[in-house]
Amino acid sequence: MASDKTGSTSSLNMLISSTGSYKRAKEEKWRHRREGNFKSDVGVESNEKLNTLLEAVNDAVEGKISLISLSKADQKVAKMIKVRPAREKGWALVSVGKMSMDPMTLDASILEQLFGLTPTECEVAFALLEHDKLADIAVVRNVSIETIRMHVKNIFVKTGMSSQKKLLSLLTRIHAMSSNSN
């Protein structure tokens, strides 16, 4: 396993083309996504995540960087896929791995892209990241504590987390990975 300058540990690196050809790092054999076990090779379980990955590969071929969450409520450590342009034209470098903790702020667009959080849910998540109490968040936002609890519940559902501690851990790992993509 390789470690980058953010401290994230990558468990898989591979090249994928927009046409579906792929090769894992340090392998000689090229395959097509219709052959073999592509979903398990790239570390996804659902067709929805696979389609999201293939869209991100197409975006990377066009020069964009994407992050895809692989977290599930029953996972102890969340995984992320980072898709970025490769040196070779028409190819994307795909990295799947666990991220280390880094208590920095996040860009709301990353949370919107990864989990579909609303702007309000992003603001509540950021407040939690800064260790604000639910009651304090409610006062600042001029809403009831029940409204804040509803936002937190929605954040848990969308991120697949089951507690504030797990959510905060996930957010700091996402920041560690996303800060390396700039």
**Domain of 157: which CATH number?**
1.10.10.10
Domain boundaries, position 27: 2-100
In a shared domain, residues 58 and 10: yes
Q: Is residue 150 part of a domain?
A: yes
Calculate the alpha carbon distances from 99 to 17, 147, 156, 174 in Å.
Answer: 25, 31, 19, 7
In a shared domain, residues 10 and 87: yes
In a shared domain, residues 8 and 86: yes
Q: In the chain, what percentage of residues exceed pLDDT 90?
A: 12
Residue 146 has pLDDT above 90, yes or no: yes
Number of domains forming the structure of the chain:
2
Residue 113 has pLDDT above 70, yes or no: yes
CB 33 within 8 A of CB 51: no
In the three-class reduction of DSSP (H, G, I as helix; E, B as strand; rest coil), residue 85 is classed as: strand
In a shared domain, residues 92 and 112: no
In a shared domain, residues 80 and 15: yes
Which residue, chain included where needed, has tokens 């898709």?
83
Tokens standing for residue 9: 């540990």
Task: List the CATH number of the domain containing 11.
Answer: 3.30.450
Tens digits of residue pLDDT in 57-107:
888 888 887 777 766 555 555 567 778 888 788 888 887 766 443 334 567
pLDDT at position 2 is 35
Q: What is the pTM of this model?
A: 0.50
